[in-house]
């Protein structure tokens, strides 16, 4: 009897040790290696193909000294443009005048034109601090989109690209308050075009919940981050936790159709979430083949 009990204990210990080793290995890999995820998305207004790299949620992390590994990986994709969808900063970088992020964005500009939209992290900084950061990257050539849009040529195609950190639905506001908000006015103006329309919206919640997509019939594609891919991903389950959405989020990562017309891509980003490391969840460069 004791022999069987000891054998069972040894078996349990071996299994637990094996699971622990696998998890530690996966955590190390998931916070060091970078994967590339590609999506082919039809935008009927385009007459040719456009290749765009999307990154988000770096939170001041570095891949190689001065992000050389990250820059090399992005350069390999040969993008026509790069969309940076928020939460690139962290407190440590702020103390140094955001030098790491400024240097990274300058490196991205050597690869392709860069369009930058705010994440909640950028919005949390004192306005004077973030204004200096935006002024610096704008002078370097980055196009910053904050409840604003530009009609730009990307890969020989003219596309209307905008960015917002607001909510595209009332979100506790009256109809009048909503219709006087910056995000509502921006999106209404952005829709008035026959060009393909792409919105960089850091939080996917902006267009997902409360039927938000129904307000905006002429927004073709929304590109988001913020979810960190669920931080920890379990086989056959998906992400375990996402900011705003909570445990086992429905919209954690990938391509989604919102209603009949609006397409959405959520990148899983490049860092963990606060003190939680990524597990079974490789940092990601997202590539959009638009055509």
The residue among 275 and 24 whose pLDDT is bigger is 275
pLDDT band at 204 (very low <50, low <70, confident <90, very high): very high
Nearest-5° Cα angle at 155, 153 to 161: 45
Structure pTM? 0.90
How far, in Å, CA of 225 to CA of 41, rounded?
17
Strands 241-242 and 238-239: unpaired
Lowest-pLDDT range of 16-25, 60-69, 160-169 = 16-25
Token output for 168: 């595209």
- In sequence order, what are the beta bridge partners of 256? 264
pLDDT for 1: 57
- pLDDT, average across residues 5-17: 47
Token output for 190: 């952005």
- pLDDT, average across residues 55-77: 95
- Domains of the chain, each with CATH number or no CATH: 31-290 (3.60.21.10)
Token output for 106: 């300058």
Q: Which helix (H) or strand (E) holds 52?
A: strand 50-55
How far, in Å, CA of 107 to CA of 65, rounded?
13
Local structure of 185: helix, strand or coil? helix
How far, in Å, CA of 57 to CA of 253, rounded?
13
Q: What is the pLDDT of residues 121-151, one digit of tens each?
A: 999 888 888 999 999 999 999 999 999 999 9
Residue 115: name the closest of 69, 175, 160, 70 by CA.
160
pLDDT band at 7 (very low <50, low <70, confident <90, very high): very low
Q: What is the pLDDT of residues 246-288, one digit of tens each?
A: 999 999 999 999 988 999 999 999 999 988 899 999 999 999 9
pLDDT at 14 over 50: no
pLDDT for 91: 76
Q: Tokens 């902006």 — which residue?
A: 206
- DSSP letters of 92-122? HHHHTTTHHHHHHHHHHHTTS-EEEE--HHH
pLDDT band at 18 (very low <50, low <70, confident <90, very high): very low
How far, in Å, CA of 153 to CA of 202, rounded?
22
pLDDT for 19: 45
pLDDT for 2: 58
Percent of the chain predicted with pLDDT > 70: 89
Residue 22: name the closest of 275, 228, 229, 235 by CA.
235
Local structure of 18: helix, strand or coil? helix
pLDDT for 244: 87
pLDDT for 129: 86
Token output for 76: 């390999």
pLDDT at 5 over 60: no
pLDDT band at 17 (very low <50, low <70, confident <90, very high): very low
- pLDDT, average across residues 213-240: 94
Residues contacting 229, CB < 8 A, separation 6+? 239, 252, 253, 268, 269, 278, 281, 284
pLDDT band at 29 (very low <50, low <70, confident <90, very high): low
pLDDT band at 16 (very low <50, low <70, confident <90, very high): very low
The residue among 87 and 97 whose pLDDT is bigger is 87
The residue among 290 and 13 whose pLDDT is bigger is 290
Q: What is the pLDDT of residues 146-195, one digit of tens each?
A: 999 999 999 999 999 999 999 999 989 999 999 999 999 999 999 999 99
Local structure of 152: helix, strand or coil? strand
pLDDT for 20: 47
């Amino acid at each position: 009897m004791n022999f069987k009990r000891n054998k069972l204990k040894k078996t349990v210990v071996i299994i637990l040790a094996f699971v622990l080793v696998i998890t530690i290995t996966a955590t190390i890999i998931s916070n060091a290696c970078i994967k590339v995820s590609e999506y082919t998305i039809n935008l009927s207004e385009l007459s040719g193909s456009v290749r765009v790299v999307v990154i988000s949620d770096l939170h001041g992390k570095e891949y190689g000294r001065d992000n050389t590994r990250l820059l090399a990986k992005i350069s390999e994709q040969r993008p026509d443009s790069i969309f940076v969808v928020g939460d690139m900063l962290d407190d440590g970088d702020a103390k140094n005048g955001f030098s790491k992020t400024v240097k990274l964005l300058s490196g991205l500009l050597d690869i392709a034109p860069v369009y930058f939209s705010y994440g909640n992290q950028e919005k949390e900084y004192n306005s004077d601090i973030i204004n200096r950061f935006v002024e610096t990257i704008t002078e370097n050539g980055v196009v910053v989109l904050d409840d604003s849009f530009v009609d730009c040529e990307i890969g020989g195609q003219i596309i209307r690209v905008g960015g917002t950190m607001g909510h595209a639905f009332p979100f506790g506001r009256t109809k009048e308050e909503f219709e006087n908000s910056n995000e509502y006015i921006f999106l209404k103006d952005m829709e008035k075009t026959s060009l393909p329309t792409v919105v960089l919206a850091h939080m996917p919640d902006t267009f997902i919940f409360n039927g938000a997509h129904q307000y905006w019939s002429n927004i073709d594609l929304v590109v988001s981050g913020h979810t960190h891919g669920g931080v920890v991903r379990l086989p056959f389950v998906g992400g375990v936790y996402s900011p705003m959405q909570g445990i086992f989020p429905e919209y954690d990562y990938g391509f989604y159709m919102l209603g009949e017309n609006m397409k959405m891509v959520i990148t899983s980003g490049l860092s963990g979430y606060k003190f939680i490391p990524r597990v079974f969840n490789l940092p990601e460069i997202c590539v959009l083949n638009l055509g």
